Structure 1
């Protein structure tokens, strides 16, 4: 896989603090960058902590809070100490989610000098009629951003080609979903973590994901359960709604190639504490867990 770098506000071929593999750089350099082999390695290293067909060990559930890829690779190395393509028994894999599959994917691509980034949004292709919160990678190929889903080994009835997901077809960014909600064209209550989790869905949830989408776009590839700035819990969808409207509009414009919109959004993100996480975030995810103030430094 080879590519020319896109023109943009940041260099997506360079590691962020979150995708930097540190002493495990050689492990990433050994991974081929063609989609099928890259995605197979990603699935081999990381097992989805909620979607696995196996009962995963309770003593490794803390894996899911590893927001830096070097820590994920350290956990893998402690358990296996082998090339990332060497088969791992599913229960011994690093526990994670779509964000972690995506971060490992873009870390591999960046290690090879290929521009890649993560996108926050909602997928239509897991359960008909429901839109799961999801993170997918994008790679710059042949003059365009190509979205793919490393979690899927093969096409599905709802996603014919998981290696090239057309924009707006199967996966919708958080900004797109928020704007559709504000326009009254979707049922926002069908957007969330899972149909079985009524609290983690709806307008407040999508609103927070717009802020998360901005962070990921500009290199802060945070956990899905990190909270900061204007992000808040159920019932907060009206909080700073005008701000989220404007941010979503700039995100959508930037996706069309509007460099001015992207530059304005980057400047805004860096300057506004409602959008930028700063040095600390509040982290909460598992039922019964306390909210934790985590340092990002």
Structure 2
């Protein structure tokens, strides 16, 4: 039985209680997330209809034996929150336990989707879901160690190929450092890699820089360098760690042009920030006649 063939009305209270909640228009950020909250809802509705149809028509539902994966894309799984660590004034790091010391086995650039029941309806967000005034953030701030939290995935349309590019230029802002760090680790720890990575990481102040200690450690590798771009920092009062490279101001077209390699045809630009940051970076690259590939997380 194909999912598209299942089209029927169900008034069973048990089935209705398990029906996925349709996202509000405001739940979609409009930035082209893959998958979008609406994509997840469509997939969940198809699965729900198929299960309901099978229950009421005595139809065999496909089963693939016992579950062996730690996490899957077609269903949510709960993981216990193990630790909460404050990274900056408005950012926290949450650590979850994986059963039997398992591994998520994430590929480069992949992400997960978080689900929560808030104010009587289910909402989902891509991680890292750190939007200060958002409904999910209000839920996250109430987390306590030991809470069970639902995750699903992994997802990604990004596919990294070893040595396909001579240079990767990473344009990141705030929590947009998360997917970049995955790519950086993957490249510098691969002895067969010849790709040079340049990170341009934008934050308002020095204290807002996330995972700075790990980024600094990774700059010990020959093929990775980082520039911290601080838009609201007082240069005279900023005393960074030894060896750090700082720029005081905003990441504008002039600075992007300065940071690009002479030949951009064999370069990939990776972008991750808020919507206005992403839009600006794509605009700058196009105005500079960037010849390489552009990917926005």
> TM exceeds 0.5?
no
The higher relative CO (CA closer than 8 Å, separation ≥ 6) is in 1
Taking structure 1 as the reference length, the TM-score comes to: 0.28
Who wins on radius of gyration, i.e. which is larger? 2
